[in-house]
């Protein structure tokens, strides 16, 4: 950990490594959603009449119960992912950030931000995408390579 962290060390994580880390974390989200996919495609289904290209056909589709179970499993998986992701980020790094060799730390102290601020940062990331994804591109020209979420929550992406 650099001493005098408030003095803005120059070892900020670059834009490309942040993008790759986000992709890795997004792929891991799918692991949490697999039970819902399995329920949707392997659960009970029914044959119903449908129209394909203007011609009447018979289609095999999941039952209402199967859809309900899949949605519940998606919600459980999504919430579980959010909890694990924010706990990891609160300690400094998620799976993707560890793979790319950087941490998200408090801009003033250089310490991990904790789970509460990690949750706030997770939802602040929504603001990165609202103005044409400008917040995600901001690190390309910001001197401290910050996204809008970093500015809002007071964090920095620091290389290990």
Asked if 44 and 65 count as a contact pair (C-beta separation under 8 A), the reply is yes
Instruction: Identify the residue whose tokens are 């560890």.
Output: 98
Per-residue pLDDT of the chain (160 residues; tens, 9 = 90+): 444 455 555 799 999 999 999 999 999 999 999 999 999 999 999 999 999 999 999 999 999 999 999 999 999 999 999 999 999 999 999 999 999 999 999 999 999 999 999 999 999 999 999 989 999 999 999 999 999 999 999 999 999 8
Q: Is residue 74 within a helix (H) or strand (E), and if so which, with residue range?
A: helix 64-90
How many other C-beta atoms can be found within 10 angstroms of the C-beta atom of residue 128?
18
Model pLDDT, residue 7? 54
- Cβ-contact 86, 6 below 8 angstroms: no
Rounded distance, CA 92 to CA 8, Å? 18
**Which pLDDT value is given to residue 4?**
45
């Amino acid at each position: 950990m650099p001493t005098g962290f408030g003095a803005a060390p120059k070892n900020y994580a670059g834009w490309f490594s942040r993008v790759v880390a986000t992709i890795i974390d997004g792929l891991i989200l799918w692991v949490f959603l697999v039970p819902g996919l399995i329920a949707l495609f392997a659960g009970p289904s029914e044959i119903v009449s449908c129209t394909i290209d203007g011609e009447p056909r018979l289609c095999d589709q999941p039952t209402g119960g199967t859809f309900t179970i899949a949605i519940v499993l998606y919600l459980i998986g999504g919430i579980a992912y959010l909890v694990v992701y924010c706990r990891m980020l609160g300690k400094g790094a998620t799976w993707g950030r560890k793979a790319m060799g950087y941490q998200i730390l408090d801009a003033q102290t250089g310490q991990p931000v904790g789970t509460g601020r990690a949750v706030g940062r997770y939802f602040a990331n929504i603001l990165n995408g609202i103005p044409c994804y400008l917040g995600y591109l901001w690190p390309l020209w910001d001197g401290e390579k910050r996204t809008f979420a970093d500015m809002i929550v007071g964090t920095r992406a620091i290389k290990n």
